[in-house]
Amino acid sequence: MTNRDRLLGLTVVVLWGLNFLAIHVGLEHFPPFFFAGLRFAVIAIPVLIFVPRPQVPWKWLLLYGTGFGILQFAFLFTAMRAGMPTGLSSLVLQSSAPFTVLLGAIFLRERLRGIQLAGIAVAMLGMGVIGWDRSHHAALLPVLLTLAGGLGWAFGNIGSRLATAESENVNPLHLTLWMAVVPPIPMFALSVLTEGPTTGWNALIGSFSVSGWPAFAALAYIVALGTIAGSGLWTYLMSRYPASTVAPLSLAVPVVGIAASWAFLGETPSALALVGAAIVIAGAFTATSAGRRRVAEPAPVRPAEPTRRLELNPNLVEA
């Protein structure tokens, strides 16, 4: 991975790390399934009108939207509404990285280098240190729901990778925007069945009040920066590099998420958690730097050999 693309990856890390703060604020006002459907509906409506659909197979677009849009956020929002701490959720959701590497090896037949495996193992060790230190802050069910969200994200990564691999000249931003067309209807249907037909809409009306404006601001951040900018850059990176190279970058998101939760929500990390965060950064960058390919040097030109005259045996020539 080039330094420029690694910088883009770091931008995604910051945007997605702060995204957990916005989710926390939004879930204090909106029910989870409705909130997830709303964040994508705000994007999907203008996309259907103004943005041309990328020429990718529908099956991969649906896989991308279902994994990244429906499964990830249905499980994540439910877990956070059920009591999953914001900082810890940003950590556990990054289980998508090893899930993506595993799925990439199974379905895309991507070969893993030893240094990539070592970097991922180091990053996972750091996640384990942070998770062990903070696991007493969350019950088992929210943790399992967040892990399920990480698996959904991994399937979404595979869908975006397959979509860009089978089609030439795919605009990553257009692909990301059209991914947002998939989740709204299923999410709103889940909201009606589990949260009630009017609960979400009443919350939306209330967001335009003096007390509800933080939820509206959180929705704007998630849509503009978390989804359009962050996911667009992520899809761009997934289109340029193997999934096993890009996925470890997400392991640095908890560092931003935990720091932001510490600064704004009072979720103070311990010294052990900070050590684990440093290990995560080291492992993630080791894994991504392993994806850089060396350009082969041209072979030396040898002097041309004298041309030999080729004579055919007339007995071997067919009429």
Identify whether 248 is part of a domain. Answer: yes
Tell me the residue range of the domain where 281 lies.
Answer: 3-293
Task: Give pLDDT, residue 288.
Answer: 63
Among the listed residues 143, 124, 153, the one whose alpha carbon sits nearest the alpha carbon of residue 65 = 153
pTM above 0.85, yes or no: no
As for how many domains the chain has, the answer is: 1
Does residue 316 fall inside a structural domain? no
Question: Distance between CA 166 and CA 162 in Å, rounded?
Answer: 6
Per-residue model confidence (pLDDT) at position 222: 93
Do the domain assignments include residue 208?
yes
| Chunked mean pLDDT (size 10), the chain, 319 residues | 89 93 94 95 94 92 95 94 87 82 81 79 82 69 89 93 83 89 96 95 89 90 90 86 77 86 85 81 70 42 45 38
Q: What is the pLDDT of residue 294?
A: 41
Task: Assess if residue 299 is contained within a domain.
Answer: no
Q: Using CA atoms, how far apart are residues 26 and 214, in angstroms rounded to an integer? A: 8
137 in any annotated domain: yes
pLDDT number for residue 156: 94
The pLDDT of residue 136 is 62
